[in-house]
């Protein structure tokens, strides 16, 4: 599909920026499936208690949560390029400190490295917002989708790099973390080609927009934040434990890498058409469909622990995340103004990564400390999705009923 052919003439700047962000999503983004594939396994070998196996992933998400608001403020003041460069540097530092933790067999150092990797993870979360900065209203959902589609390449590149590097050195997993450093070093130069104007400082007396509390009390924004957070958190909850479940059920590390590849492909491949679906059918329907698919992933996971079951569950998990998360992002970007961009996007990702943090911390405990078998732990992880799917679905229904009531009252 050609992006050029789908854009109106006034989206020339957006087209250039989309390509840069797609490349960044593919190259720098490859480190995310790499880290998610091996961090839990490496943590299991370093931690004194198997219940803490997924703590490195939790620390990475904590790093994302803590830096979301400062990064958003930095980009509001100094531009997207500066914020994304800081994210890449964080990824390099995280890879280096993580490698040191593996060499010294220090779980503490490994956790600190994961915390720095979270700085990159937070910056990557703003790629989708940056895609809309120079885009027209018509192109906005498509721009988000195209940038997210860059993850399709990272889905292939990341796990394949894991296969090449995971056992390539005497210290297990060390080669993978050295590869992470190189990816960030290469990727940082991409942002020199990004051309997004810095936000203009507000003039004295000019409208400053709504406060954070006023923004979050907006029904549309509240529902967008809830659905986006639930979609991302549940995806993280299940994906974090999946390599542990796959290996724990007797399959090889390469099988776990292949399943993560299939999962990330399912996360990003639909992005080529998700924006078009949103334009055609409406953002609320796409978000609701995403929640239904996430529920379907849990059903498949409960049905068995063979490789086809793992592949099926994780692919549905990725597809459900795509519809729910891109839909929520589209709804959010249309619900706030330029003057509110920094505070709203920072607050959104603070809440989002807060939810993901709780999910990742819970994932290891549910997987390794619920019941006596791997199967029981895996079932506990998937069962934990139910109340949050009910929350997000209820929020969407409430918003639809509220809009219908307001329309009837006119």
Q: Mean of the pLDDT values across residues 335-352? A: 78
pLDDT in tens, 202-251: 555 566 677 778 888 899 999 999 999 999 999 989 988 888 889 888 88
Cα 17 from Cα 125, distance rounded (Å): 16
* Axis-axis angle for helices 283-303, 386-409 (nearest 10): 160
Structure tokens at 27: 């190259």
Exposure string (b/e) for 226-254, b if CB count within 10 Å is 16 or more? bbbbbbbbbbbbbbbbbbbbbbbbebebe
The mean pLDDT of the chain is 85
- CA distances to 266, 292, 313 from 319, rounded to whole Å, are 5, 10, 10
* pTM reported for the whole predicted model: 0.74
Task: Name the band, by pLDDT with cuts 50, 70 and 90, for residue 201.
Answer: low
Q: Report the C-alpha gap between 87 and 81 in whole angstroms.
A: 10
Query: Residue 206 and residue 209: Cα distance in Å, rounded?
Result: 9
pLDDT in tens, 324-336: 998 998 898 888 7
DSSP assignment of 226-247: HHHHHHHHHHHHHHHHHHHHHH
Helices (H) and strands (E) in the chain, counts: 19, 0
Map out the domains of the chain as residue ranges.
10-197+212-409
Using the predicted structure, report yes or no on whether residue 346 has a pLDDT greater than 90: no
Residue 2 has pLDDT above 80, yes or no: no
Three-state secondary-structure class, residue 294: helix
Q: What is the pLDDT of residue 307?
A: 93
pLDDT recorded at residue 9: 46
Q: Which CATH superfamily is domain 10-197+212-409 in?
A: MFS general substrate transporter like domains (1.20.1250.20)
The percentage of residues in the chain with a pLDDT greater than 70, rounded to a whole number, is 94
């Amino acid at each position: 599909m050609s992006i050029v052919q789908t854009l109106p003439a006034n989206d020339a700047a957006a087209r250039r920026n989309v390509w840069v962000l797609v490349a960044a999503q593919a190259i720098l983004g490859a480190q995310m499936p790499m880290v998610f594939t091996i961090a839990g396994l490496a943590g299991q070998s370093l931690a004194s208690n198997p219940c803490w196996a997924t703590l490195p992933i939790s620390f990475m998400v904590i790093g994302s949560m803590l830096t979301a608001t400062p990064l958003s403020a930095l980009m509001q003041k100094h531009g997207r390029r500066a914020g994304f460069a800081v994210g890449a540097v964080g990824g390099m530092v995280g890879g280096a400190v993580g490698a040191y933790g593996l060499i010294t067999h220090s779980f503490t150092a490994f956790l600190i490295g994961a915390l720095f990797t979270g700085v990159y993870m937070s910056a990557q979360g703003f790629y989708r917002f940056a895609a809309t900065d120079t885009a027209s209203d018509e192109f906005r959902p498509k721009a988000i989708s195209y940038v997210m589609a860059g993850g399709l390449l990272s889905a292939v590149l990341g796990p394949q790099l894991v296969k090449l590097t995971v056992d390539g050195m005497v210290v297990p997993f060390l080669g993978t973390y050295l590869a992470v450093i190189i990816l960030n070093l290469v990727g940082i130069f991409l942002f020199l080609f990004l051309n997004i104007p810095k936000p203009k400082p507000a003039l004295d007396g000019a409208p400053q927009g709504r406060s954070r509390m006023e923004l979050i009390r907006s029904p549309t924004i509240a529902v967008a934040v809830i659905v986006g957070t639930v979609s991302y958190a549940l995806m993280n909850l299940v994906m974090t434990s999946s390599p542990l479940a796959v290996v724990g059920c007797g399959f090889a590390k390469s099988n776990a890498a292949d399943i993560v590849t299939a999962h990330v492909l399912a996360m990003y491949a639909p992005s080529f058409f998700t924006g078009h679906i949103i334009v055609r059918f409406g953002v609320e329907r796409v978000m609701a469909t995403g929640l239904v698919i996430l529920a379907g992933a849990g059903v498949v996971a409960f049905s068995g622990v063979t490789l086809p079951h793992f592949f099926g569950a994780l692919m549905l998990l990725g597809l459900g995340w795509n519809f729910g998360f891109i839909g929520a992002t589209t709804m959010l970007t249309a619900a706030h103004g330029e003057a509110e961009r920094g505070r709203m996007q920072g607050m959104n990702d603070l809440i989002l990564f807060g939810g993901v943090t709780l999910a990742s911390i819970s994932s290891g405990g549910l997987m390794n400390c619920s019941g006596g078998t791997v199967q029981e732990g895996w079932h506990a992880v998937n069962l934990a999705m139910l109340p949050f799917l009910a929350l997000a679905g209820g929020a969407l229904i409430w918003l639809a009923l509220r809009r219908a009531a307001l329309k009837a009252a006119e």
